[in-house]
Structure 1
Amino acid sequence: MSIPRLYLDQPLSPGEAVPATPGQAHYLGSVMRRAAGDAVVLFNGRDGEWQASIASLRKDRCTLRPEAQTRPQATQPDCRLLVAALKRDALEWVVEKATELGIGLIQPVFTRRSVAGRVNTARLATIAQEAAEQSERLTLPRIAEPLALSAALDAWDGTPLLAGAERRDAPPLASTAAALHAAGSLDRWAWLVGPEGGFEPGELDDLARRPFVSSVALGPRILRAETAAVAGLAVLQALAGDWTENLGRSIG
């Protein structure tokens, strides 16, 4: 029987009972059919992961008791995703997969060809939390409020930003990711994906003028925006992220 794993925005320390949310109480009692004394796993993004038990459970009220830390808190790499506002189902899928891939910040952006005019960040945060609980990561990604692409670029802090572009002269993403690894940029990068139909020429020109932006290509086929988002993150995590240790021995 699997042990439920829950995120709590509460300090975690041995023996100190903490309240669960009403939704978590319903999940434990009505969905998972758990009772007082049953095991759970807790994390809060600050104090590591904890073995815990249900101290009390009744309808929508529940308290949980941390017992022992099973994993210490690890440093979260500064890996980000900027993604054009997509249709609801597609964007929710991207947020779920980006969370599983260990991304720390997800920034929706409005581009000239964006098909969505609004973004429900509260709903996306719930999806991210559920994905973090299931994927055993120790933190939640931050879901930023959507910005116009130009505003996001104007406020950028200089972190290397790789932009998926359709220009034929753009180098492959894999080679740029390998260069990031060689330069020691293993924990600070961002991936930008445009909307269905791609960026408009003026947006590509604006990206080209930014010194922190590198335009890259994702191969010979046209990808859906959500496919490009996840494929790019997988490449970056494999070559310049936390998937492989001592990667420098195997590239270049």
Structure 2
Amino acid sequence: MSTDPRLFIGQDLAAGQAVALPKEDTHYLVNVMRRAAGDTVRLFNGRDGEWRAQIVETGRKAAILEPLEQTRPQAGVPDLWLLFAPVKRQKTDLMVEKATELGVARLCPVSTARTQSERVRIDRFRTITKEAAEQTERLDLPEIDELERLDRVLDGWDPARRLIYCDEAGDEAGEPWGGARGRGQPMAAALAGLEAGPAAILIGPEGGFSDAERTRLRDHDFVTPVTLGPRILRAETAAMAALVLWQSVHGDWR
């Protein structure tokens, strides 16, 4: 595998078509990676595959690169979305980073009855996904939605997309986490019984979903409730575990 630095850019890529890097990428390339004119770099933009490019000149505010040849054709990721209730910033950032590494196509922050953080910074998410894609050989970046209330998301949901809803609660009032009755099916078993196709995974907030949210989710035919085992996982751990299971059964890990 090439050891050349790898950068995501927004510009088109074509042989001989000069590319000017923004200031932040120029700083990384020149001052952090210590690259100079004549060195080569790998570039991708989510549309034109990956290209080997040569540094033509460097300056304080911009480096100029010349794409030489395409080294990999464009390839996408499975049609999998992650819906998640934002938690504390560091943990939310971790979810965004790992979801990008694990091949999620779309990130959808949702607000629920027990969501503790209503603030999301889409610009910060974009920076995190860019860096994660650069480091993991991914050829695109996930799309990122603005924060939306869960009920509104469900109102506009396309039933052709299976929604896999991670819920560790049961239906027994007064029992810790609702007891055993009414729990979802173990996720690995549930996935084995589902046809491959567009899908989304829903991860709730710390404290789980409200009774009203659980009832509404289970009323939809496109929703599959699942459990991730006998332990109550943190939101960021649950997201990673669920994505790994889905990729192993229906994704590009097979």
- The TM-score range, normalised by the shorter chain, is over 0.9
Give the stretch that moved more between structures: 69-78 or 211-220: 69-78
Change (3 A) 1:112 1:238: same
Query: Aligned partner of 1:236: which letter?
Result: W
Contact 1:29–1:59, Cα closer than 8 Å, also in 2: no
Structure 1 partner of 2:191: 177
Q: What are the Cα deviations for residues 196-242 of structure 1, in whole angstroms up to 9, with x where unaligned?
A: 11111111001011221111010011100110011100100011111
Contact 2:51–2:70, Cα closer than 8 Å, also in 1: yes
Query: What does residue range 104-143 of structure 1 map to in structure 2 within 5 Å?
Result: 104-143=105-144
Query: What does residue range 155-194 of structure 1 map to in structure 2 within 5 Å?
Result: 155-158=156-159, 159-166=161-168, 167=170, 168=180, 169-180=183-194, 183-185=195-197, 188-194=198-204
Query: Aligned partner of 1:161: which letter?
Result: L
Query: Aligned partner of 2:155: which letter?
Result: D
Structure 1 partner of 2:250: 240
Query: Aligned partner of 2:137: which letter?
Result: E
Structure 2 partner of 1:17: 18
RMSD across aligned positions (CA) = 1.2
Change (3 A) 1:69 1:99: same
Contact 2:77–2:252, Cα closer than 8 Å, also in 1: no
Give the stretch that moved more between structures: 49-58 or 220-229: 49-58
Query: Aligned partner of 1:172: which letter?
Result: P
Q: Secondary structure at the match of 1:242?
A: coil
Q: TM-score, normalised by structure 2?
A: 0.92
Contact 2:26–2:61, Cα closer than 8 Å, also in 1: yes
Query: Aligned partner of 2:236: which letter?
Result: E
Partner Cα separation in structure 1 for residue 52 and residue 72 of structure 2: 9
The structural deviation recorded for 1:179 is 2.1
Partner Cα separation in structure 2 for residue 97 and residue 138 of structure 1: 16
The structural deviation recorded for 1:191 is 0.4
Q: What are the Cα deviations for residues 71-109 of structure 1, in whole angstroms up to 9, with x where unaligned?
A: 111243211000001111000000000000010100000
The structural deviation recorded for 1:175 is 1.2
Partner Cα separation in structure 1 for residue 75 and residue 20 of structure 2: 24
Q: Secondary structure at the match of 2:218?
A: helix
Query: What does residue range 47-86 of structure 1 map to in structure 2 within 5 Å?
Result: 47-86=48-87
Query: Aligned partner of 1:165: which letter?
Result: D
Partner Cα separation in structure 1 for residue 196 and residue 239 of structure 2: 23
Contact 1:161–1:213, Cα closer than 8 Å, also in 2: yes
Query: Aligned partner of 1:211: which letter?
Result: D
Q: Which runs of 4+ in 1 moved over 6 A?
A: none
Query: Aligned partner of 2:85: which letter?
Result: A
Contact 1:162–1:213, Cα closer than 8 Å, also in 2: yes
Partner Cα separation in structure 2 for residue 68 and residue 198 of structure 1: 50
Aligned-pair identity (%): 49
Structure 1 partner of 2:155: 154
Query: What does residue range 21-60 of structure 1 map to in structure 2 within 5 Å?
Result: 21-60=22-61
Partner Cα separation in structure 1 for residue 229 and residue 164 of structure 2: 15
Gaps in structure 1 of 5+ consecutive residues = 245-252
Query: Aligned partner of 1:230: which letter?
Result: M
Equivalences, count: 240
Partner Cα separation in structure 2 for residue 62 and residue 121 of structure 1: 26
Query: Aligned partner of 1:220: which letter?
Result: P
Structure 1 partner of 2:208: 198
Gaps in structure 2 of 5+ consecutive residues = 171-179
